């Protein structure tokens, strides 16, 4: 295996960002505004979501969602009616 070293001149200019032919930008998280004010349809895939009080809601059995501590439970309709919701995506 051979490697080639490249020298870089320091010009004081800010380097240009790398441009790739691949789309490495993660998809934008979906947002559901309270009372159906948004245009995003209800999800069919039961994503993990965060409400406007910063609680994460996780899908569970019986199409119910619950918080991480298990203290709060709701179905999607109740969540969507009471809270603005943002999908939690992997970092």
Tell me the pLDDT tens digit for each residue of 37-72.
666 677 888 899 999 999 999 999 888 999 999 999
Domains in the chain: how many in total?
1
pLDDT attached to residue 5: 45
Q: Is residue 38 part of a domain?
A: yes
Q: Is residue 37 part of a domain?
A: yes
Q: Is residue 52 part of a domain?
A: yes
pLDDT attached to residue 53: 92
Q: Is residue 45 part of a domain?
A: yes
Residue closest to 50 by CA, chosen among 23, 30, 35, 71: 30
pLDDT attached to residue 10: 43
pLDDT tens profile 12-24: 545 444 444 555 5
pLDDT band at 1 (very low <50, low <70, confident <90, very high): very low
pTM of the model: 0.62
**Residue-number span of the structural domain to which 52 is assigned:** 32-87
Which is more confidently placed, 29 or 10?
A: 29
Q: Is residue 47 part of a domain?
A: yes
């Amino acid at each position: 295996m051979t490697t080639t070293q490249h020298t870089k001149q320091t010009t004081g200019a800010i380097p240009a960002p790398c441009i790739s032919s691949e789309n490495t930008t993660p998809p934008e998280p979906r947002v559901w505004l309270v009372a159906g004010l948004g245009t995003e349809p209800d999800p069919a895939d039961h994503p993990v979501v965060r409400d406007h009080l910063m609680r994460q809601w996780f899908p569970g059995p019986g199409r119910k969602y619950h918080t991480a501590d298990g203290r709060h439970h709701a179905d999607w309709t109740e969540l969507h009616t009471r809270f603005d919701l943002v999908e939690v995506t992997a970092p």
